[in-house]
């Protein structure tokens, strides 16, 4: 006859725990599986990760236990196994043992008011508390930057807290990113993003390093790609055979004439147009800034609307628009090679070099074209109001103008 002690011993003996990885990407998350007969079979991802070449599938542990970091990882996994078995024995007659139970053990549900102090955890906290106030693209950047920091932690075999983000963190992170062939401007943007996360944490009472404010990352100067007035004429006059290219061409012209982001101009509808006296305006709210805008429609835009019986072109996805306007510009003859950067789709990273101009055209080119071609022709304060830049210095950086160039331009009025 089984005693209570005997039953507990029986469950302890029969329950098995095994670690494994199931991803082919580096770093790979380490999973744990708890199995007991046919009734219980639960698995969940642990907080640990490792490069696949350093993992033994047969033994379910790191290969080289002579390495201090891998030895420590194995000790952590052993401790997790012991804690899991103890928890299992306490819950076997009380709770339902399944995958959710295992997940809750590994990552206990956090209380609503809990504020994390670990860098990786704070990415999720920041995303949750900024939900509704930032664009979907910013949420995507959060995930991308978080994943890069996770890779950095695996490489350095260290878990970073908010308070650890200092000058040494910045140097180590830059070295890591360069070793993985990330572009300097990508590195600089990521460091800036990490600082934003840390500022938010500090404002919520989490300890941050005193060097945080002084951390800077250098940006490399890149060519600001825009369309010249002559190139816009070529695009307008290009003989396009297919309707989808004509549709994309019309959107491209509209973007160059209104200076708006694709998230805004692609939502334009004729119902948003009103007359102020004899001046046709389009009124809308910018997606990114929430700012209410009223922009006069130029002759080119009015011509497009007239051709389409008052309607704007058909809405298309951002990705298709990006692809189509490259074809439009190629057919318009924008094939001269210029310096720039574009995404290498094989590795999903930017590469810098000499490329045909049409290959460098993206949905953003309309806004920069508007700002660049009208700089010096329209008062900068009015241009900033249209483009949505917060300051004049940001606007000048956006179009690739320096304070010195502005001073030289001003000097012309005195000579």
d(CA 304, CA 298): 10
pLDDT value of position 146? 94
Strand-pairing partners, residue 378, are 375
pTM attached to this predicted model: 0.60
pLDDT value of position 214? 94
SS3 17: strand
Q: With the C-alpha atoms ordered 229, 233, 234, 240, is the resulting torsion angle positive or negative?
A: positive
Q: Residue for token digits 């860098």?
A: 119
DSSP 242-299: SHHHHHHHHHHHHHHHH---HHHHTT--GGGEEEETTEEEEEEE-TTT--EEEEEPPH
pLDDT value of position 3? 42
Q: How far is CA 207 from the centre of its chain?
A: 26
Provide the CATH topology of domain 229-374: hpI Integrase; Chain A (1.10.443)
pLDDT value of position 295? 92
Q: Which of 259, 364, 361 is nearest to 301 (CA)?
A: 259
Task: For the chain, give every domain's residue range.
Answer: 4-106, 119-214, 229-374
Residues of the chain with pLDDT under 70: 1-14, 110-113, 345-349, 402-415
Largest CA distance in the chain: 108
Rounded to 10 deg, the angle between the 119-129 and 184-203 helix axes is: 70
CA distances from 117 to 126, 152, 189, 214 (A): 12, 18, 22, 20
Asked if 30 and 37 count as a contact pair (C-beta separation under 8 A), the reply is no
Rounded to 10 deg, the angle between the 136-156 and 167-179 helix axes is: 90
**H/E element holding 47?**
strand 40-50
pLDDT digits (tens, 9 = 90+) for 256-286: 999 999 999 999 999 999 998 888 999 999 8
CA distances from 40 to 14, 36, 64, 247, 372 (A): 11, 5, 32, 58, 65
SS3 401: coil
The mean pLDDT of the chain is: 87
Q: Residue for token digits 């950067």?
A: 341
d(CA 88, CA 102): 9
């Amino acid at each position: 006859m089984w005693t209570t002690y005997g039953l507990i011993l029986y469950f302890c003996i029969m329950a098995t725990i095994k670690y494994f990885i199931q991803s082919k990407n580096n770093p790979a998350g380490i999973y744990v599986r708890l199995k007991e007969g046919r009734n219980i079979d639960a698995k969940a991802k642990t907080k640990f990760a490792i490069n696949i070449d350093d993992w033994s599938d047969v033994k379910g542990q790191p290969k080289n236990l002579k390495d201090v970091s891998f030895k420590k990882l194995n000790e952590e996994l052993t401790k997790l196994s012991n804690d899991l078995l103890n928890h299992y024995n306490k819950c076997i007659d009380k709770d339902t043992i399944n995958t959710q139970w295992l997940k809750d053990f590994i990552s206990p549900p956090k209380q609503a008011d809990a504020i994390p102090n670990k860098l990786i955890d704070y990415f999720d906290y920041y995303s949750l508390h900024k939900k509704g106030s930032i664009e979907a693209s910013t949420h995507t950047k959060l995930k991308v930057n978080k994943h890069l920091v996770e890779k950095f932690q695996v490489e350095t075999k260290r878990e970073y807290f908010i308070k650890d983000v200092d000058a040494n963190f910045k140097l180590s992170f830059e070295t890591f990113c360069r070793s993985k062939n990330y572009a300097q401007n990508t590195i600089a943007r990521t460091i800036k993003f990490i600082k934003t996360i840390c500022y938010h944490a500090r404002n919520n009472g989490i300890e941050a390093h005193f060097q945080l404010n002084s951390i800077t990352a250098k940006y490399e100067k890149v060519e600001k790609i825009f369309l010249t007035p002559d190139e816009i004429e070529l695009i307008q006059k290009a003989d396009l055979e297919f309707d989808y290219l004509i549709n994309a061409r019309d959107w491209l012209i509209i973007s160059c004439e209104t200076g708006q982001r694709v998230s805004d101009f692609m939502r334009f509808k004729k119902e948003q147009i009103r007359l102020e006296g004899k001046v046709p305006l389009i009124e809308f709210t910018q997606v990114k800034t929430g700012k209410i805008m009223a922009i006069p429609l130029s002759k080119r835009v009015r011509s497009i609307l007239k051709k389409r019986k008052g309607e704007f072109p058909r809405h298309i996805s951002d990705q298709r628009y990006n692809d189509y306007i490259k074809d439009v510009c190629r057919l318009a003859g924008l094939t001269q090679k210029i310096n720039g950067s574009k995404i290498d789709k094989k590795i999903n990273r930017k590469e810098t070099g000499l490329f045909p101009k049409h290959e460098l055209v993206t949905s953003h080119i309309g806004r920069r074209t508007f700002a660049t071609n009208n700089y010096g022709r329209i008062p900068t304060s009015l241009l900033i109001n249209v483009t949505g830049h917060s300051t004049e210095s940001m606007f000048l950086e956006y179009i690739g103008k320096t304070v010195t160039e502005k001073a030289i331009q001003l000097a012309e009025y005195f000579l």
